[in-house]
């Protein structure tokens, strides 16, 4: 049985041991980039905000290749800092199955997830610190285990922290609990993801690589990673995140088995050694439709805010978090936490994030339909192309020129 707790802060309650139901305006579950951003913006917009994460160290372990675009950070108003930028990149290298490579200079070609390689363990903490400075109360090693509607217009979340069980009563809950999110499901949202929309990823952080272009991120396409692609994202001259994503519907091997093969056969990684292994899912089916309920919003990977083509979700998750946080703050001021009021978040997120994903989803479907031979001949044609200042859409227009199948699959979109 819980007793209502008048203490000013959760920590005060823990010290007193008078457990307890804690009251807050906005509870954010998950302190990844999306959650910390949502919490910060809700607090900046006048709400009393609590942010919890089950990890004892925010950001660790990472499950990410750590690539972000410069434009993406700028859109969020975040100045790059040498504390969390591991490497600035100058371009992208696309490698076809027979090893033909196409180099795209970053000055000319704007691609998502190309710009900086972060040190996520530091970046995620930095984002949580920003939230703290905006007035957010943060609880680490604190896991949400269930959610139900309270008697008033509020939500009760069951929480465990250092063997203590208590409840947090919130007017609005923002679920930012990542790719294995449960908050949405608890709130009755349709969040299940089909296997064809969930990339299974395995990645090593490695040292002693021999990279021909240590300032470029490399993407490897074809049967090396069925249903996805492999990558080498450099973090230093001989250090990189080396990983791949596969669809379990397209191969009998695990992502880890494919990774071991890739590392063994790639000239850059032949002599490299792992210092970290990351295994995780990446939802690549496009933004979920059902992301808002009475008193509840879901953001980031929990809402599948991941670019379906690249698998990148840091920037889009943070943009979703920023929109959700601002609307949560405004809804608290209006004293209206209904689904109807919070739908503004869904509409804005659809406009800012979801709509662009539709194109990327088509582009991914096209890419996955290509055989190794077709990929080799496209790479061959691209090698001779003269690239001026072009963006993703123009890159795909060029693809349409060299691949008739692209015209069929992508012609109407770009
Ligand atoms: C191998 C791999 C490589 C990737 N590479 C890139 C890349 O290069 N660039 C890019 O942009 N994206 C990349 N992504 C995707 C990117 O990592 C995610 O999109 C991003 O981390 C999403 O942020 P988030 O805040 O939504 O979720 P997360 O970063 O997953 O954070 C969720 C947080 O919620 C916490 N949590 C979960 N459940 C609970 C609970 N019940 N109670 C309390 N806390 C909870 C977790 O501990 C975690 O801290 C990659 C993903 C994978 C798997």
List, for residues 264-298, the tens digit of each pLDDT value.
Answer: 999 999 999 999 999 999 999 999 999 999 999 99
- Residue 101 backbone dihedrals phi, psi, to 5 degrees: -120, 150
Mutate to test the pocket of ligand 1, among 178, 191, 199 (most ligand atoms within 8 A of CB): 178
Ligand 1 near 287 CB (within 6 A): no
Question: What is the rounded average pLDDT of the residues 64-86?
Answer: 95
Enclosing domain of residue 15: 10-60+123-193+286-358
Tokens 């929309």 sit on residue: 197
Residue 51 β-bridge partners: 28, 138
- 158 domain residue, yes or no: yes
How would residue 17 be classed by pLDDT, with cut points 50, 70 and 90? low
- 372 domain residue, yes or no: no
Distance 169 CA to ligand 1 centre (A): 25
Distance CA 105, CA 97 (A): 21
Angular region, 109: left φ>0, alpha ψ -120 to 50, beta rest? beta
- Residue 130 backbone dihedrals phi, psi, to 5 degrees: -60, -40
> Is residue 151 exposed (0-12), middle (13-18) or buried (19+ Cβ within 10 Å)?
exposed
- 335 domain residue, yes or no: yes
Tokens 């590392």 sit on residue: 263
Angular region, 288: left φ>0, alpha ψ -120 to 50, beta rest? beta
How would residue 131 be classed by pLDDT, with cut points 50, 70 and 90? very high
**Sign of the alpha-carbon torsion through 203, 209, 215, 217:** negative
- 403 domain residue, yes or no: no
Number of domains in the chain: 1
How would residue 391 be classed by pLDDT, with cut points 50, 70 and 90? low
Q: pLDDT by residue (tens digit) across 133-147?
A: 999 999 999 999 999
Residue 198 in contact with residue 283, Cβ under 8 Å?
A: yes
Distance CA 307, CA 282 (A): 10
Tokens 């993407």 sit on residue: 219
Ligand 1 near 34 CB (within 6 A): yes
Ligand 1 near 106 CB (within 6 A): no
Ligand 1 near 308 CB (within 6 A): no
Distance CA 131, CA 314 (A): 16
- Residue 165 backbone dihedrals phi, psi, to 5 degrees: -110, 135
Question: What is the rounded average pLDDT of the residues 38-59?
Answer: 98
Ligand 1 near 64 CB (within 6 A): yes
- 298 domain residue, yes or no: yes
Whether residue 61 has a cis bond before it, omega within 30° of 0? yes
- 128 domain residue, yes or no: yes
Tokens 């509840």 sit on residue: 296
CATH number of 129's domain = 3.50.50.60
313 has a pLDDT exceeding 60: yes
405 has a pLDDT exceeding 90: no
**What's the whole-number average pLDDT of the chain?**
91
Distance CA 127, CA 79 (A): 12
Ligand 1 near 32 CB (within 6 A): yes
Tokens 């196409």 sit on residue: 102
- 47 domain residue, yes or no: yes
pLDDT of res. 5: 47
9 has a pLDDT exceeding 90: no
Mutate to test the pocket of ligand 1, among 127, 182, 217, 301 (most ligand atoms within 8 A of CB): 301
Tokens of 327: 């609307």
The H or E element spanning position 149 is strand 142-149
Among residues 118, 131, 112, which one has the least CA distance to residue 35? 131
Distance 36 CA to ligand 1 centre (A): 12
Neighbour order of strands in the sheet with 273-283: 101-105, 91-95, 216-220, 230-234, 239-246, 198-207, 273-283
* DSSP sequence for 342-401: HHHHHHHHIIIIIHHHHHHHHHHHHHHT--HHHHHHHHHHHHT----SEEHHHHHHHHHH
Angle at 227 between CA 403 and CA 219, to 5 degrees: 70
- 295 domain residue, yes or no: yes
Ligand 1 near 178 CB (within 6 A): yes
């Amino acid at each position: 049985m819980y007793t209502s707790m008048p203490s000013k802060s959760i920590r005060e309650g823990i010290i007193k041991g008078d457990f307890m139901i804690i009251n807050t305006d906005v509870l954010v579950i998950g302190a990844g980039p999306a959650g910390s951003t949502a919490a910060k913006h809700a607090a900046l917009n006048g709400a009393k905000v609590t942010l919890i994460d089950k990890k004892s160290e925010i950001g660790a372990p990472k499950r990410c290749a750590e690539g972000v675009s410069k434009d993406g950070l700028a859109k969020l108003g975040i100045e790059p800092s040498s504390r969390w930028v591991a490497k600035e990149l100058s371009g992208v290298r696309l490698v076809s199955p027979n090893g033909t490579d196409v180099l795209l200079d970053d000055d000319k070609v704007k691609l998502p997830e190309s710009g900086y390689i972060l040190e996520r363990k530091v970046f995620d903490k930095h984002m949580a610190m920003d939230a703290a400075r905006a007035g957010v109360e943060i609880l680490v090693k604190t896991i949400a285990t269930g959610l139900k509607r309270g008697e008033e217009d509020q939500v009760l979340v069951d929480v465990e922290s250092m063997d203590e069980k208590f409840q947090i009563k919130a007017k609005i809950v923002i679920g930012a609990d990542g790719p294995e999110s449960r908050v949405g499901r608890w709130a009755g949202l349709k969040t299940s993801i089909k296997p064809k929309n969930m990339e299974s990823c395995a990645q090593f952080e490695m040292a002693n690589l021999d990279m021909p272009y240590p300032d470029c991120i490399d993407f490897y396409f074809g049967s090396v990673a069925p249903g996805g692609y492999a990558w080498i994202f450099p973090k230093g001259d001989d250090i990189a995140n080396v990983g791949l994503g596969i669809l379990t519907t397209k191969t009998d091997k695990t992502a880890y088995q494919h990774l071991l093969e890739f590392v063994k056969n790639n000239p850059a990684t032949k002599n490299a050694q792992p210092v970290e292994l990351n295994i995780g899912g990446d939802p690549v089916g496009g933004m979920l439709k059902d992301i808002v309920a009475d008193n509840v919003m879901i953001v980031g990977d929990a809402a599948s805010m991941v670019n379906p083509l690249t698998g990148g979700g840091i920037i889009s998750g943070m943009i979703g978090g920023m929109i959700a946080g601002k609307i949560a703050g405004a809804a608290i001021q209006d004293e209206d936490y209904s689904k109807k009021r919070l739908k503004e978040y869904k509409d804005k997120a659809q406009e800012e994030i979801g709509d662009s994903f539709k194109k990327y989803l088509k582009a991914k479907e096209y890419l996955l339909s290509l055989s190794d031979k077709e990929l080799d001949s496209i790479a061959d044609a691209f090698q001779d192309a003269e690239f001026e200042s072009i963006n993703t859409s123009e890159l795909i227009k060029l693809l349409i020129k060299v691949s008739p199948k692209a015209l069929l699959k992508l012609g109407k979109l770009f």
